[in-house]
Structure 1
Amino acid sequence: MKSGKKLLPEGWLPRVLVIAGAALAGNLLLRVVPWPDWIRTSYESAAAMDQAEEGRYLFMTLLLAPAVEEGVFRLFLFGWLFRERLGFWGAAVLSSLSFGLYHGNWIQGVYGFFLGVILAWGYESSAYGKYRMAVIMHGAANLAVLVIFG
C-alpha cells in the first residue's frame, strides 16, 4: 500500500483462530446442552427471523452486525466508557454482559457474553487498529459458525 498502512492489524491471525475456535466450541456446546423448551423456543424463533433472506442475512452477519456491534460494545462501551474507570476485567465483563443481553434470548446471551470477553481481549491486546481487530474477529466467528453449522 502506498501509505505504508496495513489492511489487517498486526497479530490478527492468532486472534481470529482463537475467536473462531471459541465460536465453534460454543455452538457445539449450546447444541448439546438440554435447554428447557421455553429457552430453546425463544432461540429458534430468533434464529428463524435472522435467516429470512440469504443475501441480506450474509451481509448482516458477516459485515454489518460485526461493524455496528463492535462499535457499540467494544469501541464505545468497553474502550471509551468503562475501560479507564473499571480496568480491563470490569470493562470486559460489563460490555460483554451488555452484548449478551442485547441478543435477547438466553442461548445467544450466554454465548454472546463469553465471546464478548474474547472480543474485549482482542480489542485490548491490539497495538493499533483495535476497533478493526474486533470487527475482523467478530466477522470471523460468525463465518466459522456459518461454514460449520450452516
Structure 2
Amino acid sequence: MSGGSYYLCDDDYGNVEGFLTPYKRTRYHLVDWGSGLIIPQDYKESFNVKHCHVRNVIERTFELLKRRWTVLRSPSFYPLKVQINIIFTCILLHNFIRMEMPDDPLQEPDDAIVGQTDPVAYGFIENLQSSTTGDAWRDNLAMSMDNKR
C-alpha cells in the first residue's frame, strides 16, 4: 500500500488498501476517559487519537459545506464524476468566500479553509478484500507518527 490516497474510515470497515481505519479495541478518546490530560500509552493509542481528530475535522468541514450549499444536503443522482465536480466547486466557492469575507457568519471560529488538495482523477473501488498489507502499512505509519511526537 502506498502513502498516496486513501479513505479515512471508522473501524466498521476493514483495513485494506485504500482504507485507513483505527486500531480496533484500542482507546482513542483519551480526554473523555478521565480527568485532565491522559497521554497515549503506545503508538496504537497515539494513532487512534490522531485518526479521531482528523475524522472530526472532516465531519465538521462537511457539516459547514452542507450548511452553505443546499445541493450537498440530499442524495445526488448525478454520475459520480459530476458529484465529485459539484463537491470541488462548492469547496472552491467556500474558500473564495472565506478569503474575501473573513467574518463569514456561517463560519465557526475554528473552521479552517477546506479542500486544500487539488482534484485528482478518481478510480472506482473494485473490492474490499482484507489483507495484511493494509495492517502493515498502518503499523508503519502509526509508528512513524508516534516517533515524531
TM-score normalised by structure 1 residue count: 0.30
Which structure has the greater CA radius of gyration?
A: 2
TM-score normalised by structure 2 residue count: 0.30
Higher helix proportion, which one? 1
